[in-house]
Amino acid sequence: MLKNAFVASKSTGLSLALLTVLLWSILPLALVSILSVLDGISITWFRFTVAAILCFFWQVYRGALKEFTQLTRKDWSILTLAGLLLIADYVGFTLALNYISAIAATVFSQVTPFFLCLGGIIVFKERLSLIQVLCFVFLLIGLVFFFNDSFTAVLTNKEMLITGAVIAVLSSLIWVFYALLQKSLLKKLSSSNILLYIYGLAIVILGPFSDIEALSKLDSYDWLLLFFCALNTVIAYGAFAESMKHIDTTQVSMLISTIPLFTITLSYLAFITWPLHFTFDEINLVGWLGIFMVVASVIIFNQAGKDE
């Protein structure tokens, strides 16, 4: 009975993490498009505003707001710090897309799963088996193979390297600190309430720096993209926060590392569907070998976690 419950919990966590991966894979493509008509801070403010409204009414309906009454001053400090970090990550990643493409951003953001895994081991004392360690090694090699052309393209463009890469990497590191703080709060607050507070904090902080008037100049297509980005915020981070309850940080980090594969695939589908709006770079044989190594590493890593 307990074993079945454990397996069910693991399956739930993996499903939620995969949903997060899919939504985060699509997001850069939408952001790149909307950035042509709206600045990054205004986009982030709008995303958090919509997310805050939806999350607030959902929590009122569930009667879950009373959770906030049990927080200590220390808890409030941790929650506020987590909020500031997530806001910085959102703004930073969006700004990075002003300088590098969606695919290039995924190249540099690959420091995220490794930072997250390291944080899980250090902070939460999570352990990896020898097989899982080897999976990380093969994952890293696979990503290098997969991005062999991308790394060359990125490193030969000084503007992308100096500005976009630095912002993207710093945003990834900031996000990891947020994720670790968020997990430490889950004993007292639900993931929805954690995000609700962060959304509200973002509205207050980013509001004075947002160009609200620019929203009136958007056409229907721009509004569609903007609302997609906002809903992506609610669903993706909600799924991510819940997944952290069911599976280890190290497992979540492995799944997050597959985001570039999904982004590339979705970029290709977008290219063949709307060739006038999207471009796609061909993947060579070494790149496809990298895809196989990454996918195999993720499958074996998660299976090893279930067998423990």
170 by DSSP, 3-state: which?
helix
pTM above 0.85, yes or no: no
DSSP letter for each residue of 218-268: --HHHHHHHHHHHHHHHHHHHHHHHHHHHS-HHHHHHHHTTHHHHHHHHHH
Half-sphere exposure at residue 308, Cβ-oriented, CA atoms within 13 angstroms: 17
CA 54 remoteness from chain centre: 20
Predicted confidence at residue 112, as pLDDT, reads 66
What pLDDT digit, counting tens, does each position of 218-273 carry? Answer: 888 889 989 999 999 888 877 877 787 777 766 776 677 778 778 888 888 888 88
Predicted confidence at residue 52, as pLDDT, reads 93
Residues of the chain with pLDDT under 70: 1-9, 104, 107-108, 110-120, 122-126, 147, 149-161, 249-250, 253-254, 277-279, 281-283, 299, 302-308
- Tokens 């930073």 belong to 92
In angstroms and rounded to an integer, the radius of gyration of the C-alpha atoms of the chain is 19
Predicted confidence at residue 49, as pLDDT, reads 94
Residue 111 CB coordination number (10 Å): 16
Cβ atoms of 252 and 17 within 8 Å: the answer is: yes
What pLDDT digit, counting tens, does each position of 267-297 carry? Answer: 888 888 877 766 676 667 887 787 778 777 7
Predicted confidence at residue 201, as pLDDT, reads 95
Residue 11 CB coordination number (10 Å): 13
Which pair of tokens denotes residue 10? Answer: 């693991």
